[in-house]
Structure 1
Amino acid sequence: MKASSARVLIRTLVAAVLPLLAARAPAAESPETREWSSRSGATVTAALVGVQQNMVSLQTTNGAVLRIRLGDLTPPGQAAVAAWVERQQRGPAYQTEGVASNRVPVFTEGPGRRYHSVYTHPNFIARVNRASQVEIEIRDGTNTFGRPLILRPLHHYVSRQEYGRAIVGFDEIPRPTLDPKELTFTGRMADGVTFSWSYAFVDNTVQCWGWVRDPPGIKYPTRFQMRLYVPAVRTFENSVPMDERKRLLAPFELRVEPPKGKTVVYPFWQGQQSLIGLAEQVTVDGPVYGSRRLSVTASQLKDGRLIPVIYRGTAPYEGFSVALIKNEIDKRSDRFRMIVTID
């Protein structure tokens, strides 16, 4: 093929593909692998797993995710991307009936099966489950790291003890998607409480915010927060001595940067009397997640508090959580957010 003809074909394919990309094609994982070639002559065997604007994500046979510009692919590759986007826009089937009032619909087939939404990034996969909670699976190449992190709203009240306030039903639920940008769920809880919470998926971050509104005269006011649960990263038999645990966990630290004062470092191996204090940023340092780094921040601390929590008698490696608590729980604003970043 002459160079001029090839250039015309590339421009034609790009023109055909870009409108589809603007329609936000789902970043779904394809089960099919093929050989992809760049205009520079490089080749790779991989599956197309996502398209965002003019960037194409390819997952190699060993699990690594590569990103390449659409225009850098050869014409056959660009045509394959266009066909993939068209298929994904049709989308897999999802539940339309038989969904419990306090649950959200999920996909019944395809890469999002059993989940409402799936966001794919080279550093992690975030999945919204039936309970509208986000499960975050950190990935480092082909490596994963046990149970996922859980990001979810908490809505409870206190009488003689603490109780969760049950969701009665959802009023607004986004359509299931394999390319979520921003999702907002609204509905009703027991005792006439209304709620809204949202998730945004922006590059290598998952962000969340929300509000609840109690009816006048409610006996037990709602306590509302967004919370990230970080599960245990190691387990030990009782026979493993503390010195050995300390040696194995020595590279790992939990760093808490308070709004004022010096950064406080908590060794992962060391049990804590308790850790409940204010933070500006909470970071897991060391190769806990391979080369990935987990950090949690709040967008505007003047509107509330970011609080890391380690329960009495446990060490960070056994799991901890980070809570985002608003000063005004019924304030309808998206400015005060918890931001979970995976570098």
Structure 2
Amino acid sequence: MKVFFDERQRLHDPRFRLQDGKVVLNPDRPDRVAELLRGARAAGLTPEPSTDHGMAPLAALHTPRYLSFLRTIYDRRLAEVPDLAEVVPGRIVPERARVYGWQTEAQIGYHNTDTSCPISAKSWDAIYWSAQTALSGADEILSGARRAYALSRPSGHHAYREVAGGFCFLNNSGIAAEYLRARGHRPAILDIDVHHGNGTQGIFYERDDVLTISLHVDPEQFYPYYSGGAQECGAAAGIGYNLNLPLARGTDTEGYLAALDRALDQIACFGASVVVVAQGLDAHEDDPFHGLGVTTAGFARIGRAIAGLGLPVLSVQEGGYMQPGLHANLTSLLEGLQSA
């Protein structure tokens, strides 16, 4: 099993985050990378450099105007605001179907759901290579490998077709799934992050060729608050192809595994040929967000359960933030995934 990563993914170094009326340091720190690589190596994974697949696989899921925004907005805004540190929205557009403005401030509001995705001078490099890392993991699966781990950072599952949010800019797991689908696979995306994969759900909600499943803290109690209910099961052709399994805050390993059994049954009944795991480690009991109570040993059990499907598995990194057990949680999950 290989881990894919590009050093340029460290370049996104966000500072701004608004919490309880205060500006605090954004938790998606580049320091996470060292801990995740440490955990991957401890699980016996060999690091491999990511390869460049260009813009086309990104544009298969995200609009050209959104990709252009991410790529150019810092430089464009800097020309207007010479002392600019980071691009952060001062307003949020409540409805996406209205007039699309080409001025920088209008686009900043249009392309964000919250203030957690500041963009600085080198952010686009990291965002681009995070998606390329997921695609490199997908290529590994296409080459015949049974397992691959894409250390994608920044994360992706809160990113919609053309809206950033929740530390996410491009939907890396979705990009990888679409790439695999276009090459003959029937993918299921299994999101095990503590937060609902609202961006992933939004992108695939009316489709029946990609199954989307998310296990997460009930949105009545937790971010993203406005999506992730059990009643959200898809629309149009996608009715029945989206499954949300919201959990009470603090749910322990046993409760989590019971919900995971339901998810794995749906994946089997979908006839999936590959599983893309949106791999959050923030379900851990000591994660700074304190959403769920999965133990380090519990991650190994989660990995073994997923491996028990007997399908190729591409794990794409999502959340999991700085705490003493971060690297051990990744090791545990990856060892579980490699058990079958």
Structure with greater strand share of residues:
1
Compute the TM-score of the two structures, normalised by the length of structure 2: 0.25
Q: Which has the higher contact order (CA 8 A, sep 6+)?
A: 2
- For the pair shown, the structure with the greater C-alpha radius of gyration is 1
